[in-house]
Structure 1
Amino acid sequence: MKKIDNALFNAIMEQAKTSPRRRMNFDLRTQAFEEGWKDSSQRMLNVLMKDSVVPIHRHTETSETVIVLRGSGEEVFYDDKGKETERILIIAGSDCCALQVPRNVYHTFVPKEDGTVIFEGKDRPYDPVATEEFLQG
C-alpha cells in the first residue's frame, strides 16, 4: 500500500524545486509497461512549481483526465493554429477540481501555486514520439 498524502506531495515537490523543468512526476502504476506488465495506461502525479512551463501539446490516441489534488492551475486550450480557444481554472476541492481533455485537442496546464499537484490519467503510457504532438510556434 502506498499512501497518497501531503507527505508524498511534499517529497515530490522537493525534487520539482531542483528540476530544470520545475516539475516532477510520480508513476502510480504498479509496474511499468516496459517491465512486461500489461498495464499500458498512464496514472501519475505531477507536482509543478508555478514557473513550470508545460509545452502546448495534444494526445493523438487518448483523452486525458486531469484532477487537481492540491493547489490550482488553468487548463488552456488552443486550435490547430495556436490560437487560444478556452481557459478553465481548476482548484483543488472546488466545484471545478478536474476536467477531461478530449483527444486531439491542443492544451497546456499553467500552475498558479508552487507545489500544485495534479493527477493525470490516460489510456496510453507517456510516449512523446508516438502519442503526442507538440504545437510548433
Structure 2
Amino acid sequence: MKLIDESLLDALSAEAGSSDRKRKNLNYHFGDADVLQRMLNAFEPGTYVRPHKHENPAKREVFILLRGRLMMFFFDDTGRVTHRQLLDPEAGKYAVEIAPGEWHMAVSLEAGTVVYEVKDGPYDPSSDKQFAPWAPAEGTQDADVWLEKLMVDHFTDR
C-alpha cells in the first residue's frame, strides 16, 4: 500500500519549490517498463512545461488534481491555443484526460499544486513526448517570456 497524505504533498511541494525547474515528481510505477506509469507531480508557479504531445507511440495522460490550481492549455499544430481547462476544487474541476497526439501543457497557478498523473507506458525518454517546435525549449529566457505572454493573452481565472 502506498499512502498519499498531506505530509507527503508538503514534502514534494517543498522539493519542487527549491528546484531550478519548480517541479518535482515521485514515481509510483515499478520502472520504465511498467505499462501504467503513475506519479505525483508537484508544480510551483513559474515552472515551464514545454508544450508537447504523446504520439509515436500514442499515449493517454490523466492529471488528477490533489491540491492547488492548475491551468491546462491545449494547442493546434501551429501553436494557437484551442482551449484551456482550469483544474480547481473550488470550481468543481478535478481532472483532465489528454488524448494521444493532443498538444498540451500545464501551468501552476498556486504554490503547493500537486497532481496524480497517470500515463500509458512503457516510458522511453527518446520517444515519450514530442515537443512543440513553435515553443521555446525549457530553461531558456525565451521560455519565461513565452509563458508570460501566454498567460497574459489567454488566461481567465474561472
Q: How many pairs were matched up? A: 132
Which residue of 52, 56, 59 corresponds with 1:57?
A: 52
Offset of residue 131 of structure 1 = 2.5
Aligned to 2:24: 24
1:98-137 residue pairs with structure 2 within 5 A?
98-137=95-134
Deviates more, 1:117-126 or 1:79-88: 117-126
Q: Is residue 32–residue 121 contact of structure 2 (8 Å, CA) maintained in 1? A: no
The one-letter amino acid paired with 1:26 is L
Inter-partner Cα distance in structure 1 for 2:90 and 2:26: 21
Inter-partner Cα distance in structure 2 for 1:97 and 1:56: 21
Inter-partner Cα distance in structure 2 for 1:16 and 1:106: 24
Percentage of identical aligned residues: 36
TM-score (norm 2): 0.78
Root mean square deviation of aligned Cα: 1.5
Offset of residue 129 of structure 1 = 2.0
Aligned to 1:80: 77
Superposed CA deviations along residues 6-31 of structure 1, whole A, max 9, x for unmatched, are 100011111111211100000012x2
Structure with more strand by fraction: 1
Offset of residue 33 of structure 1 = 3.5
TM-score (norm 1): 0.89
SS of 2:20's equivalent in the other structure is coil
Offset of residue 99 of structure 1 = 1.0
SS of 2:110's equivalent in the other structure is coil
Deviates more, 1:99-108 or 1:117-126: 117-126
Offset of residue 94 of structure 1 = 4.5
Which residue of 48, 65, 69 corresponds with 2:66?
A: 69
Offset of residue 3 of structure 1 = 1.5
SS of 1:96's equivalent in the other structure is coil
Deviates more, 1:13-22 or 1:118-127: 118-127
Unmatched 5+ stretches in structure 1: none
Inter-partner Cα distance in structure 1 for 2:28 and 2:89: 19
